[in-house]
Structure 1
């Protein structure tokens, strides 16, 4: 499994975002180059604003060779697939992830995946992780520490004009989901996006908070794994609260 990192491309694309959103990164003392880790955080709406800035910051500012675990849908379109790969992303297939971890890459993972980026009204900054534990099992297998992080700003960059719930909860759509093949294709309705009032994002300041590294090696059973995951989620929510306070002090928002 070969990872493509195009440092100049990453820097060039992210430069526009940094000028527009003026991101602030906190907790950088928890970023270590010498020991790979799994960076785990919240994904903001549409997922195209937060990830590039994080990857650029880790890769170009701290020399952390980070691989982003991307949703399968990113790899369906040839041109878009090549763009995603330039950011060091790989398809979120477990064997691919295991391969890059064997090579010693740090991992960037958003456990909420595609559903968390396709947010609906009232879901801003909610972690929608379902029952996913595979990322933690891989971290334990390769003895990777977990570095939780919180991202603030992205879920306020767009106002939702059309809520996907309108379609997904309709009787007609629910009837479609009773067809197994359609249900699988539409991921139970999760691939239906909400539509923004305008395509250009609002200019809001972005904040990122990295938190202390946490070892996962002490976990011995699924109950402890569940408690560990819950604690990570709480850390991220607390990180978001802290970032709101800091933003209030800086911008009065």
Structure 2
């Protein structure tokens, strides 16, 4: 593909993409400076399972102007939109391809386009690449050897340093060539694909592309995901990502502070994971959080959980479950393997119980538990918010969905294992002295929904937050501080408010993070009660009084589990972290630490 193959720009579909999901959306990859279309080569297999991938190939000798490339992509978009009008079209643009994607979106604001822009070249007027244009005009052949290295960001600092020395051009290029011993396979492709005259042509096209696109950004209405590298040596991508995020109306940004220009070629960068984390995958006009979701791979799961290993090590979670005969056992043997199953429990402070809980289900029973989450985890609250939307990407990758009746319905209808906290944010952001207190609404809708699908309801309790930290300043305290009060009032206007029509304590779900004083770590304890059957009770539980009775039974069981754990943990010799560390030091750190008798 790096040879002089002639012909006009055209599309190709990578053979390694293989079979894909039914009704997979079309993904058009728009390449950067190299133009060969192989920029996603490390992602073809994973992307090919969920997308129909077409890559744009621009032959080396081709001199198609930027405006004609825009028209080529636009014709393809129009044709595919006509063929599948209810299916979104993804435009993944890298560098120059970012300009292409934005230009096409600006010219077609009514089309259902999803843009993914990696280090967009819309900032070319601020790029160091402009320094190469006069050099290439004078002596293009001398730059051919060193340009591939510069494109990957390896020696570009040397370029700047030698230019600043004021050395003659020949000596400058000689210094740049020193220390270069071998080319990697991709650098070989770049070297072949970017002879001096081609590079000069493309850099000039970059300049015109950036000007063309920037003048039309106001017309872009497409949903956009910006990927910006913090160590891009070719373009000021970090600043450009911020600029575009302020201009584009439906935009989210993901930052890769330690990455360079060729983001998609870096180890550890997985485009599929990025798309899933941003909830950026859908097969129709509206995202379906149930059917458009696909579970994490083992490597994804490990990557999601790894940053929280410290919590599992510090809290040493001890999990108990209840068999059908009422016997309490260690582990999750009492959990039904077949769904639908609805776990209903108490939400610890800041949701501290979630990571050990989800991890235990995955590792011990190979079960993916899908949570009902607050919609603020899916809403961009603005640049001034302390709640960075990207910090919740792992929650979305693990299958959580925004709280709504329709999403709850879809999860149960798909026979999922669903995690529900009736107390929601009110429990997770509780105040002083409110630990282990349930704030449940009066409505009993989750009982009727569970009965509709014959779901097993598993009440559970979790304790240990008071062994990890203590609320120092809660919402009432913070509201007395003028600057905090203004911030809280501002956040209330941005965050979607739930349960505002039901009144009571559970409706007080202001997004205020309490200030917590850490303690010497204790231990987390979980108890899952005996599963409650709703199979065959659909008609019976339509009765308001009957549903209310079962609702109170579930709530009472959650409270009983909490009381049981609070009482039993007093007899746990390894509740404190220091006795646990001593035990692990003598028995191995992978051993099962003993607990109380049960």
Find the partner of 1:244 among 548, 563, 566: 566
Residues 131/3 of structure 1: CA separation in 2 closer, same or farther (3 Å cut): farther
Of 432, 447, 453, which residue of structure 2 is paired with 1:121? 432
- Find the residue that maps to 2:427 and give its secondary structure: helix
1:62 to 2:352 alignment:
no
Counterpart CA distance in 1 for 2:444 and 2:469 is 30
Say if 2:407 is the partner of 1:96: yes
Cα deviation for residue 101 of structure 1 reads 2.2
Greater length-normalized contact order (CA 8 Å, ≥ 6 residues apart): 1
Equivalent in the alignment of 1:3:
293
RMSD across aligned C-alpha pairs, in angstroms? 3.0
Q: 1:149 aligns with which of 460, 474, 480?
A: 460
Give the TM-score normalised by structure 2.
0.38
1:53 aligns with 2:369: no
Pair 1:191 & 2:510 matched: yes
Task: Return the match for 1:33 from 317, 332, 337.
Answer: 337
Residues 376, 495 of structure 2: 8 Å contact kept: no
Larger Rg: 2
1:114-154 per-residue CA deviation (whole Å, 9 max, x = no partner) reads 11111011211011012242322221111101000110112
Whether 1:224 aligns to 2:546 is yes
Specify which of 3, 15, 19 is matched with residue 313 of structure 2. Answer: 19
Aligned partners of 1:37 and 1:144 also within 8 Å:
yes
Structure 1 residue 222 displacement after superposition: 1.3
In the other structure, the counterpart of 2:531 is 213
- Identify if the C-alpha distance between structure 1 residues 238 and 185 changes in structure 2 by more than 3 Å, giving closer, same or farther: closer
Q: How many angstroms apart in 1 are the aligned matches of 2:443 and 2:470?
A: 28
Q: What SS does the aligned partner of 1:46 have?
A: helix
Hey, what's the Cα distance between the residues in 2 that align with 1:143 and 1:189?
A: 32
Distance 1:37 1:194, change over 3 A: same
The reply on whether 1:204 has 2:522 as its aligned counterpart is yes
Deviations 1:154-201 (A, max 9, x none): 24422112121346699xx8xx99xxx799859665315352243x56
Cα distance in 2 for residues equivalent to 1:96 and 1:219? 21
**Alpha-carbon spacing, 1:10–1:246, altered in 2? closer, same or farther (3 Å):** farther
Q: Which moved more, 1:147-156 or 1:77-86?
A: 77-86
Q: Aligned in 2, Cα 1:131/1:139: closer, same or farther, shift over 3 Å?
A: same
Q: How many residues align?
A: 245
Offset, 1:12: 2.5
- SS of the residue 1:95 aligns to: helix
Aligned to 2:595: none
Q: TM-score w.r.t. structure 1 length?
A: 0.84
Cα distance per residue 1:50-98 (max 9 Å; x no partner):
1121111112211223211111111124413422112221111221222
Equivalent position of 2:347 in the other structure: 43
Shift of 1:247: 1.0
Aligned partners of 2:368 and 2:338: how far apart in 1?
10
CA contact (8 A) 2:341 2:415 kept: no
Structure 2 portions without partners, runs of 5+: 1-289, 322-331, 381-388, 501-506, 576-598
Structure 1 26/210 Cα, relative in aligned 2: closer, same or farther at 3 Å? Answer: same
